[in-house]
Amino acid sequence: MGSNSSNTAGNIVGSTINAPVNVNGSRHVITLRAARSNSSIPPSHNLSKPWRKISWGDNARDLQYVKDYKPGNKDIKHVRILLYGPDGAGTSSFINSVCSVIQGRVTTPALTSVNSFERIYETFKIRKEGNPETFCHFIFNDVMDLKDGDGICADDIKLTLKGHVKEGYQFKPSSPLSPGDPGYNPRPSADDKVHVLVCVLSADSAGITDSVLKKMVDIREAASELGIPQMAIGTNIDLAFPETERDLKNVYKSQQLKQKVKDFSAAVGVPENYIFPVKNYSDEIEINDDVNTLILSALRQMINLGDNFIEKLI
């Protein structure tokens, strides 16, 4: 986003347009929440044709692809996917949901006992269904949610991108990691580095403050300087839009959601075709094909972007 970040920051809206936001100092809040109503959605809110094509219920091909994927670079065992986003965006829930899709049952591997002010740098591997000793060749790292005034420092995430953060390091908002600290990795391998950066945003969020948005901009710019590919996912689409709450298959017919994707793109600088709406598993006790379709669509894109980046490291 570079020097234009303060201009684009004011463009993200739900059903309301706010005043432009100065990401360098003011504390205006960027509205994200879509308008909701108990009344029925007018036909104009659902487009006659979807604005993005997706094959509903035909998950076997994508599921097999993500299970069978292996990096072409022999020095790298896994595509490392770093998730980040504002407080409550649903990064851990997305990891849980991916695990549920791969294993064919609802599971919660990313639960942690660490409180909201402490977060350990932890790698999440996804075990394949039916084989307790076999894992997928993509892994997730989830960092502390970005918050207004506290939360993880953007500099620590920049170090994470470069592979300088050791497994098990406990992020400290008041004390960023520095060379010489026990948690600092001075000589990261290609496998330690992040291969794709994913911004996680909640479509049902009440807003993002300018200080959090500035952290997001700093992280994106650091990744861009390293050539790391980036994308975004929008969670909680069933909570934000009545039409998708009624039927997930309306996701790419929703006029409101299409606008929300445009708003996200303007705010975080990720192209619209690299933003994927998803619904995380939350209160479900059984696997749902439509939920899986959206998650697999986003996951396959993450793997493809990471694989393209890894090829450049050969």
* pLDDT 10s digits, 285-307: 999 999 999 999 999 999 999 99
- Under the banding of pLDDT at 50, 70 and 90, the label for residue 144 is low
Give the global pTM.
0.83
pLDDT greater than 50 at residue 6: no
Q: 3-state SS of the chain?
A: CHHHHHHHHHHCCCCCCCCCCCCCCCCCEEECCCCCCCCCCCHHHECCCCCCCCCCCCCHHHHHHHHHCCCCCCCCCCEEEEEECECCCCHHHHHHHHHHHHHCCCCCCCCCCCCCCCEECCEEEEECCCCCCCEEEEEEEECCCECCCCECCHHHHHHHHCCCECCCCEECCCCCCCCCCCCECCCCCCCCCCCEEEEEEECCCCEEEHHHHHHHHHHHHHHHHHCCCEEEEEECHHHHCHHHHHCHHHCCCEHHHHHHHHHHHHHHCCCHHHEEECCCCCCCCCCCHHHHHHHHHHHHHHHHHHHHHHHHCC
Q: What is the pLDDT of residue 153?
A: 76
Q: What is the pLDDT of residue 117?
A: 47
Q: Is residue 35 part of a domain?
A: no
Q: What is the pLDDT of residue 27?
A: 33
pLDDT greater than 80 at residue 112: no
pLDDT greater than 80 at residue 173: no
Q: Is residue 212 part of a domain?
A: yes
Share of the chain above pLDDT 70, in %: 79
Share of the chain above pLDDT 90, in %: 49
What mean pLDDT comes out for the span 120-140?
87
Q: Where are the alpha helices (DSSP H) in 104-163?
A: 154-161
- Could you tell me which residues come within 8 angstroms of residue 193 by beta carbon, excluding any fewer than 6 positions away? 80, 161, 162, 163
Q: What is the pLDDT of residue 239?
A: 87
Q: What is the pLDDT of residue 115?
A: 47
Q: Quick one: tokens of 78?
A: 């896994």
Q: How many domains are contained in the chain? A: 1
Residue-number span of the structural domain to which 121 is assigned: 66-313
Q: Is residue 185 part of a domain?
A: yes
Mean pLDDT of the chain: 80
pLDDT tens column, 179-223: 999 999 999 999 999 999 999 999 887 677 888 888 888 889 999
pLDDT greater than 50 at residue 13: no
Q: Is residue 46 part of a domain?
A: no
Instruction: State the CATH number of the domain containing residue 263.
Output: 3.40.50.300
Q: Is residue 40 part of a domain?
A: no
Q: Is residue 169 part of a domain?
A: yes
Q: Quick one: tokens of 193?
A: 């580095």
Q: Is residue 98 part of a domain?
A: yes
Q: What is the pLDDT of residue 74?
A: 84
pLDDT tens column, 213-265: 888 888 899 999 999 999 999 999 988 888 888 899 999 999 989 998 998 89
Q: What is the pLDDT of residue 110?
A: 56
Q: Is residue 193 part of a domain?
A: yes
